[in-house]
Amino acid sequence: MKSRKQWLKEVASLCAEVGPEDGIDPRTVVHKQAICQKNRKTYQVCKQAEKTLNLVMAGESVEPLLRELIVSAVEPAPDSSHLLVIVEPTSTTVSLDENEVLEALQRAGGRLRSAIATAITRKRAPQLSFRFIASMGVPR
């Protein structure tokens, strides 16, 4: 077994400066770039889902109630396999019941999920959950 002094001399001869990461297996180090890449892909899927849902709900929707809604945000909940879709009315003059809106969204959930599946390139389409936010000027 080599002594610490011999090991330090050997390491110093192999590199210009000895850093805190020297001697650590690089396969076990989590790189910051890999974490950012993962988050970037998750938010890319969320943005694609938001765009697709807005298009489907505005035009192709069978439910007339869904035409009165706009997707304000899509967030990963807790990851990209499950998405939280936040919807709100398109106009402040429209008064919508939260329970009716959520029921209509649940009924159309399969079609909306199918539309997302065709828009994104993933092995599995993400599950959807919905949250309705009433506009400030509209009483509930």
Total-model pTM: 0.67
- The structure tokens listed for 94 are 């429209």
On the CB side of 128, CA atoms within 13 Å amount to 28
For residue 71, what pLDDT band results from cuts at 50, 70 and 90? Answer: very high
All structural domains of the chain:
29-132 (3.30.300.20)
Cα distance between residue 97 and residue 80, in whole Å: 29
For residue 134, what pLDDT band results from cuts at 50, 70 and 90? Answer: confident
Closest by CA to 74, choosing from 45, 106, 46, is 46
Residue-wise pLDDT for 18-70, tens only, equals 666 666 666 666 666 555 566 888 888 899 999 999 999 888 667 788 888 89
Backbone φ, ψ for residue 79 (5° rounding): -140, -170
